[in-house]
Structure 1
Amino acid sequence: MKNIVVLVSGGGTNLQALIDAQERGEIKGGKISCVISSKEGAYALERAAKAGIPSVVLPRKEYADKKAYSQAILEELDRQKADLVVLAGFMIILDEVVTKAYPYKIINVHPALIPSFCGEGYYGLKVHEKALEYGVKISGATIHFVNEEADAGAIILQGAVDIANDETPETLQKKIMENVEWKLLPKAVSLFCEDRITIRDGKAYVD
């Protein structure tokens, strides 16, 4: 049984999707063993407590820089014996000290179809604002492995939604979360825990 450690910063809606999937028996071969929050008082911590999942708070503001914070995260991941790390609304880009220690073991969800609308500065509603500004007809979410470059790791799963003529960044965000993120993130986590993801030439293939 693989240990899944989920990193959060805020409300934890993607964490809730994982918890719900776990309770329905949809995550095979792994369990959420710990939640780590970058902020005290994040609502995600309440979600973890309600589900009986242990949590740790490592406030970003208590560390001098990204490297020091990433080192603290790495030490906690090692302490938790993490087999898989899931970034679920974790608003901090980690230093390569973490990504190099956990290659192809860190999964992130990005609210667009990578390589569109991704990279540094593309997060939250900004992603949906840019998609609508561009006038794309579909958008969606990408579940991918995390490497040293923002949103550039191997893609595991993608899903799309149609964009309505009267779409707003807020309605698009909700549509993508409900129809793509909350479904595909638990699926990707289960695939990893079942050893059904193979890496070849830097690309992820699902068996």
Structure 2
Amino acid sequence: MKKIAVLASGEGTNAERIIRYFKEKRTAEVALVISSRPSAGVIERARRLGVVCKTVVPSEFRSGEALRLLQEAEIDFVVLAGFLSRIPDEMVHAYEGHMVNIHPSLLPKFGGNGMYGMHVHEAVLAAGEKESGITIQYINEKYDEGDYVFQAACPVLPEDTPESLAARVHELEYRYYPEVIERLVKE
């Protein structure tokens, strides 16, 4: 069985859905969660679901601590789920073709450094876009420039706020991210 690690910095709603999905499917297992913040909600979610969770703050991440933990746990595939730290090049190369991220827009629009969470939804609305969505992509050395694996769209409604658009985009994330991860892990 392939081993997956989830990297997350926030509440961990996507991480929880991914963990639950693979507990039911048994095609792979989430064997490790790494958080970049000691106060992140993902830590409690992972522990409640019986998954080992480690905190690696950004300075430790840059020094190779996260890569060491991944290799120690014999991780086959790495999933970013709301992870806000830059992935060091050494880790990118170690998991090339085996590390994905999800972004809350239809890249290449609204990507890059500083474009995450509500910043993305605010920018989509300010630009007057008619649709938004998600992009699942492989990680490379640059923010949001890896090869795309999957995209799904949703409408931007005239009455949308950043929060209402975020809710619609989250539904796409929850629906598709675990399925796409499973397909990639099986390849």
> TM-score, normalised on structure 1?
0.86
Structure 2 match to 1:106: 99
The percent of aligned pairs where both chains have the same amino acid is 34
Structure 2 match to 1:143: 136
Instruction: Write out per-residue CA displacement over residues 129-173 of structure 1, whole angstroms, 9 at most, x where no aligned residue.
Output: 111111010100011110011111111111111111110111101
d(CA) in 2 for partners of 1:189 and 1:124? 21
d(CA) in 2 for partners of 1:23 and 1:102? 23
Structure 2 match to 1:67: 62
Q: Which range moves more in the overlay, 132-141 or 34-43?
A: 34-43
Structure 2 match to 1:153: 146
Q: Displacement, 1:56?
A: 1.1
d(CA) in 2 for partners of 1:95 and 1:23? 29
Q: Which range moves more in the overlay, 85-94 or 14-23?
A: 14-23
Question: Helix, strand or coil: the match of 2:153?
Answer: strand
Structure 2 match to 1:190: 182
Structure 2 match to 1:200: none
Q: 2:9, 2:84 within 8 Å by CA — same for their partners in 1?
A: yes
Structure 2 match to 1:56: 54
What amino acid maps onto 2:15 in structure 1? Answer: L
Structure 2 match to 1:21: 21
> TM-score, normalised on structure 2?
0.95
Residue-pair matches, total: 187
Q: Displacement, 1:103?
A: 0.4
Structure 2 match to 1:202: none
Q: 1:143, 1:184 within 8 Å by CA — same for their partners in 2?
A: no
Q: 1:109, 1:143 within 8 Å by CA — same for their partners in 2?
A: yes
d(CA) in 2 for partners of 1:22 and 1:51? 11
Match of 1:171 among 139, 160, 164: 164
> Which stretches in structure 1 are left out of the alignment for 5+ residues?
196-207
Q: Displacement, 1:23?
A: 3.6
Structure 2 match to 1:6: 6
Give the root-mean-square deviation of aligned CA atoms: 1.4
Structure 2 match to 1:43: 41
> Which stretches in structure 2 are left out of the alignment for 5+ residues?
none
Q: Displacement, 1:9?
A: 0.9
d(CA) in 2 for partners of 1:161 and 1:172? 9
Q: Displacement, 1:41?
A: 2.7
Structure 2 match to 1:133: 126
Taking structure 1 as reference, are residues 130 and 57 closer, same or farther at Cα in structure 2, changes over 3 Å only? same
Q: 2:19, 2:29 within 8 Å by CA — same for their partners in 1?
A: no
